[in-house]
Amino acid sequence: MAYLVVTSSGFIKRVILPRVSTAIHADVTVTDISVHPFSKITVRGLKVQVKGQEPFITAPEVRASYSLWSILRGKPRISEIALISPTVNLVENPDGSSNWDTLKASGKKPSESKSSRPGKSSKPAQIEVRKATLSNATFRKVKYYPGNHRDSLEVANVNLTLANVKNGQTGTLQLNAYLQMENNPTHRPGGPFAGRGEWQF
């Protein structure tokens, strides 16, 4: 019974996500979440938004397939990580504030004293990722100036596939994207710029 409650969509949305929201100082909401703790997590309708600002991240679907036992043994084995049509918005207002200020603040760690740092570096984690995909993603940065002028940069139709990532092995990476940039004509010369690129490694 406890297993069914803790892994239910309602429990996660009412109990877990509010705690995550408090930790990062932003509202984290989903329309649905399905959890199979030993093997798979699927999230639909993800949104991360600071109050009073435009959403920072939205994603119709995020899913991950993994082996929990391998993670517990310290050798994570991930079958799949997929982000479907995510959108990342970075918005800077004329007063210098932005829609990710509180997120940056929550990510800062207190400084460590030299005596508390380990003397030797630890061994690298043994990680295996069979496939990670980023499908139809959009990354957008907008900086507003007084008078409703703005600079904008958008990287759209981003498709990235990363396969067979493992310690000591050769993986593959494929990436293609569309870039569009427009400078604020009041502050900088030049007009819109657009370009398309594709890379394979």
Query: For all residues of the chain together, what is the average pLDDT?
Result: 81
25 within domain boundaries = no
Strands 87-92 and 172-182: unpaired
pTM (2 decimals)? 0.74
Whether the pLDDT of residue 13 is over 90: the answer is: no
120 within domain boundaries = no
Structural domain including 158 reads 36-100+125-200
170 within domain boundaries = yes
Q: Which burial class, exposed, middle or buried, applies to 52 when counting CB atoms under 10 A from its CB (0-12, 13-18, 19+)?
A: exposed
Instruction: Give the Cα separation of 46 and 42 in Å (integer).
Output: 10
118 within domain boundaries = no
DSSP H stretches of helix in the chain: 2-6, 9-11, 17-24, 68-72, 101-106
Predicted confidence at residue 120, as pLDDT, reads 57
49 within domain boundaries = yes
Most confident of 9-18, 32-41, 112-121, 128-137: 128-137
167 within domain boundaries = yes
Give 109's pLDDT tier (boundaries 50, 70, 90).
low
Instruction: Give the Cα separation of 57 and 19 in Å (integer).
Output: 18
Predicted confidence at residue 193, as pLDDT, reads 54
19 within domain boundaries = no
Mean pLDDT, range 13-17, rounded to an integer: 86
* Least confident interval from 117-126, 129-138, 173-182: 117-126
The closest alpha carbon to 126, from 166, 85, 172, belongs to 166
Structural domain tally of the chain? 1
Give 124's pLDDT tier (boundaries 50, 70, 90).
confident
